[in-house]
Structure 1
Amino acid sequence: MKDDSIFYIFGRNAILEALKSDENIEKIYYSFGLQGRQIDQIVFLARKAKVPVTQYDKQKFSALANNLFGDSAKTQGVIAQKSIVNYIDIDDLIEDALGKEENPVILMLDEINDPGNLGAIARTAECSGVAGIILPERNSSPVTPAAVKSSAGAINHLKLCKTVNMIQAIKKLKDSGFWITGTALSARQLYTAPIYDRPTVIVIGNEGKGMKPSLQKHCDNLVKIPILGKIDSLNASVSCGIILYEIVRQRQK
């Protein structure tokens, strides 16, 4: 899957200003033999910010530039890889969430593949006071421009975390005092149950398959939204919104 949350910029001035303004620069590539004050500044600022800097020989750099931009000459010998958003470590997310309120809510998304759904979920999450969103490293929609647009910019106001192991992330959240509530059509308990009076993680499953059974086993409880029509499930972003605002309703009583 092409990662549309990553894009590239080129040119010495553009990259230097991006580093100065603390944009989400992830990597720097530059051509062997480049010299000058701007190159020195780029390398210095990148290393200061702990951004990896890779020097390629001229042939390899030209191949990279031609592949990305169709022309190596206009890059001025330097390319930067950027991300639309900054992801934070799960430990930082937990610390930030618990530091801001007594009973924070964190959202965990299990393989949400549609950027529009991701954006809609992020918008509802931000509006309902969610502390952050945890995404799997693989098999999940990246934060694309379409997702940002669908979120009406809400993604920019949320703490986002990627994890390579969702089960380990759940265990870490439990160890920090969070109660894990999953969503499943087979659940016996309704989403309206009075179970949100503590630090809470809500797990929303994939649009088609729902939550993986392996994740369900690690939840403290599972809830369902009653389905009264002929279609057997709601859109993931709609389900998420219903549950998040039930939490808001219960806590504002």
Structure 2
Amino acid sequence: MNLLTFQTNEELNQIGASIIASLVQTKQNAVLGLATGSSPIGIYQELIRLNEKGYVSFKNVRSFNLDEYVGLPAGHPETYLSFMNKQLFDHIDINKENTRVPNGNAENLEQECKLYDEMLADASIDLQVLGIGHNGHIGFNEPDQNLHGGTHIVTLKEETRQANARFFDSIDEVPKQAVTMGVGSILKAKMIMLVVRGADKADIVHRALTGPITTEVPASLLQTHPNVVVLLDKEAAKYFHG
């Protein structure tokens, strides 16, 4: 596991973007696993800049997103599809037909999960971008006695809904379920890039990366992966440096 700490967000964003851009420059048809939330936004902005300057092209790239809320209307600004379009896809030369986000409005959600797993099995993700939840979730894989390997429907923990309530007018509007890629699928990625920012994440990321491997802290399973790079701002890294 390669742990990198940055004094500024600009440095973190540049390094994160350069890791992704270098992969795509080397392998033009790379498959990217993408995440939502505030952690990767700066990296996406830097990728947009690199694309605009002609340093990297995403024309042949395919992408798979980790998760999507269940039941938000299509076009709702807080769907993760809307997020990805706003924060990245609308601003780079990727073919949107090559982008995949789980369909949280599928008539048959179980079938949607199965189809997503079939697509992932055919794709083989080269690099998976991850954030971490305050309770240690990755994707929407919440702490539990057992974790799903494949894509599945999850009931969101109250603390997860509270953490996401800032994006909605009230907690009542935050969906109670999501479709998420499973931990097994995440760990199949050839490389994983975990991005963590803020003092409020310092304790959980330290527990996840140095503590026992347990399904009660899903991110701790990243310790079993052979190729993980962790990008931390100085606040998130405080427990790693005494």
Normalising by structure 2, report the TM-score: 0.28
Structure possessing the higher relative contact order (Cα contacts under 8 Å, 6 or more residues apart): 2
User: Who wins on radius of gyration, i.e. which is larger?
Assistant: 1
